[in-house]
Structure 1
Amino acid sequence: MRGLSVHQAPPFLIVALHFLTACIFWLISSFLELYLLFRKELNLPLLVHTYLLGFALITMFGALFQMLPVVAGAVIKDPLKKALLSYLLLLPSVLLFLVGFLKKDRSILHFGATALLISILLTSSLMMYHLLPKKSFLPAVRGFKFSLSFLLAGTLFGYLFLLFGEPAFFKFHYSFVLWGWVGGLIVSVSFQVIETFYTTPPYPKYLAWYFHLLLLLSLLVFQLGEESVYKLPICILYTAYAFTTIYLLLKSKRKVLEYTPKFWLLGMILLLSACYLFLIGKFIPFLLAFGLFFSAIIVGMMQRIIPFLVWFHLSGFGIKSAPLMFEILPPLRQGITFYSFLALCLSLPLGFLSKDLLFIPIFFHFLTASVLFFNIIGGVKVYLKNR
């Protein structure tokens, strides 16, 4: 596979631990939604940060520990020890921060935010230290550098907003974290995996090489005002990316039964919805659409990465009876995850008609998260059994 170095892959345990933890957080978030529904309370900061920190951030850190050495050649020495240290710093920080939002306790929130800032700073700096000296010979590598920079900036501005309450800090925080870190990293990953995994034509060079630089400029333009004209560059950029990705996936030469391309297609539709809602100033619907966008990509890629790594590591150990990817995670189980997630997306607008109907998307969220956890832990069990 072009740009990949299969001899530098870190231990399977790193990805497995991060992915399983993220699945648990996503499952917990469905219970939080039900709890808040019964209390007739909208604790938006709690729900947003449970998704962003517990689900997205932990997943993305786990994936980067895998991708940096394999894709970028940025080899981290003693990766298991350093990844475990990062994990053990990040997990209690996230939990403490979320407890602060749940209890609405400023002292817990500030303590958790400080611990979270330190843990993100240390992990991101570790990755950047090994990544920056590497030449950006692939668009994905260039994107990793930008995305980690966006994460550092967005986290710092979020901390400053918590301390001082300045609205400009909040605007920097959410735009750099959502559009810069989460969106930017997904775009970076797609530049590598869409063509490689799904046998599609490559992304246009001008889009792949200049996307993140244009994203930085677009984010800076957005800081100048709240009117739609200041949001337009971000929306145009991501709209162009989404339509390009849809076009490439529809051109895929890989015709086997597989659900991860469907997750990517659904994710792109959700991204287009998020762009539109962001442009017209519908902030909460935008957050919902954006959350569904990155959740679709994460769920789809988890179910692609875990079977691939199980097969890859077992084959690398010389185990002749190593199961194939479709045996580790059968398409039927992937299909259950996809259609339950699709039902979640389709039923969520019911909540805008009546709050009493919110239990329907919450149920599908719980179902999707449960099946995802079952699928991921099933892959881990296959690895442990054969190893």
Structure 2
Amino acid sequence: MFNQGLSLTQAPPISVPFRFFLSAPIFGVLISLIFLVFPLDEVSNEYHNVSIGLIHLFTLGILTMIIFGAMQQMMPVLAGAVVSKPKLFANIVHSSLFIGTICMSFSFILDMKQLLYIGVLFLSLSFLSFFIVCIKLLFEVKFLTSTVKAMRLFSLSGLITFILGFYLAFSHIDSNIGENYLVFVNTHILFGLLGFAFLLIMGVSFQVIPMFYVALDFPKFVQHKVPIVLFITLFISFFSFYFEINFLFLKFIFVVMILSFAYFALKSLNNRKRPVFDVTLWYWKFSLICLVISMIIWLFDIFESNYILAICFAFGFLYSLLQGMVYKIIPFLSWFHLNSKGYFSIPTIREFIDERWIKLHFSLHFFSIIFFLISYFEKEFIYIAAILFLVSNILFFINALGAIKKYLKIIKTNPMDLSSFK
């Protein structure tokens, strides 16, 4: 599986994914400040405007930002789907996503409807630009791996998520919240988290885990059956919500499919063919454990509020895994681009970011989540959680920026200069 469909020579300029990766922790800092400034009762209430704004700071500012950046790197490399003008495309998608996320999120947080108009405009430009190109390229791919198939489902789920979000945004603009509002909200959430986010993570894992960690391949039925079953179940869920049919059976299908992925991912990581230490494994394993906990909480409705579930799934599963991926992607791309330009004396992949700082970042991120969870029972701990989350995102930004600065320093030198990286 390592070489199937893999084409590093078609990778876009290194600046394309890096701008997205550096933007994500900025939104993490903003999320920390929201937790510090606003009462926890407002932030943890999923129907409150502050909570809606904070959720979109995460889903758009962190989740989508990293996914859009990674996809522009992975489409040509893993699928052979090359964007013709990558820098122009990245400029449009990134700038409009950044501006749109700020405006839309703070239109809810600050109760300023005018910002929502701007947010919808820029987010529409970003999402439509990205998914029109993404869908066109991916459905032209001839060599279909399990990852490419999952990417196709991700792109369709992302477009559906956008359309539903667009409808909901205009409901707020017109102050016309119809009787089916919650049907569209619940469908928007499911397609966003399980279609847009999870399907891509799962599909990329089929290639990334064996490639980066010299680990076991996933079973064929997980690679080829689970993504399509999840996608079909997402569509059925809409009718379940619309016709008010009991959702429990569909929820059970979701949980079984997701837990099967988590089980085989952990099994693969725990039975690596070359079990050398890699600090990014901490992020992957912690992420997958949080995913398992999230699914148990969701299936059995263990807590009255969705606050615990949101922290476990969003910060614990999604953000932990995305951070681990970024810590792999940035050094790898830096090394690959320098190597392809003929530099002989360059740092190894593991030398671009000092592992001690990655370990410190993981510790801060881990304990921030622990204190976020404790704050459900003792509200005062939310301040500790927010401060730890703030510092962890600042360190995430510094670590990523440090690797990029190291790359930029070397790229300015003569490739034959053996001291170029000192």
**What displacement does 1:347 show?**
2.2
1:1-387 alignment runs, 5 A limit: 1-3=2-4, 4-37=6-39, 41-42=42-43, 43-164=50-171, 165=177, 166-223=181-238, 224=240, 225=245, 227-281=247-301, 282=303, 283-292=306-315, 293-387=317-411
SS at match of 1:349: helix
SS at match of 2:33: helix
TM-score (norm 2): 0.88
**What displacement does 1:40 show?**
6.2
**What displacement does 1:226 show?**
5.0
Could you say if the C-alpha distance between residues 25 and 298 of structure 1 is closer, same or farther in structure 2, counting changes exceeding 3 Å?
same
Provide Cα deviations, 1:337-387, integer angstroms capped at 9, x if missing partner.
222222122222211111111112112211211111111000110111000
Which of 218-227 and 197-206 deviates more? 218-227
**What displacement does 1:278 show?**
1.9
Which of 200-209 and 39-48 deviates more? 39-48
In 1, distance between residues paired with 2:33 and 2:67? 23
In 2, distance between residues paired with 1:86 and 1:115? 9
In 2, distance between residues paired with 1:110 and 1:218? 33
* Bigger Rg, which one: 2
Could you say if the C-alpha distance between residues 175 and 150 of structure 1 is closer, same or farther in structure 2, counting changes exceeding 3 Å?
same
In 2, distance between residues paired with 1:199 and 1:109? 46
Provide Cα deviations, 1:18-52, integer angstroms capped at 9, x if missing partner.
10011211122212221124x86422111111111
- Aligned residue type for 1:217: I
In 1, distance between residues paired with 2:127 and 2:289? 30
In 2, distance between residues paired with 1:158 and 1:12? 31
CA contact (8 A) 2:54 2:109 kept: no
SS at match of 1:258: coil
In 2, distance between residues paired with 1:41 and 1:112? 22
In 1, distance between residues paired with 2:58 and 2:162? 15
Q: Which protein has the bigger helix share?
A: 1
SS at match of 1:256: coil
CA contact (8 A) 2:294 2:313 kept: yes
CA contact (8 A) 1:97 1:109 kept: yes
In 2, distance between residues paired with 1:96 and 1:367? 24
CA contact (8 A) 2:93 2:125 kept: no
In 2, distance between residues paired with 1:349 and 1:87? 32
CA contact (8 A) 1:348 1:361 kept: yes
**What displacement does 1:89 show?**
2.1
SS at match of 2:225: helix
**What displacement does 1:114 show?**
3.7
**What displacement does 1:254 show?**
2.8
CA contact (8 A) 2:352 2:403 kept: yes
Provide Cα deviations, 1:69-124, integer angstroms capped at 9, x if missing partner.
01100011121122112222222111211121121223422441243123201111
In 2, distance between residues paired with 1:24 and 1:226? 40
In 2, distance between residues paired with 1:161 and 1:136? 37
In 2, distance between residues paired with 1:297 and 1:127? 23
- Aligned residue type for 1:258: D
In 1, distance between residues paired with 2:29 and 2:246? 35
In 1, distance between residues paired with 2:168 and 2:92? 28
- Aligned residue type for 1:25: F
CA RMSD of aligned residues (A): 1.6
CA contact (8 A) 1:117 1:156 kept: no
Which of 151-160 and 55-64 deviates more? 151-160
Q: How many residues get paired?
A: 386
Q: Percent of aligned pairs with the same residue?
A: 26
**What displacement does 1:285 show?**
2.2
In 1, distance between residues paired with 2:53 and 2:392? 20
TM-score (norm 1): 0.95
Where does the alignment leave 5 or more consecutive residues of structure 1 unmatched? none
CA contact (8 A) 2:335 2:347 kept: yes
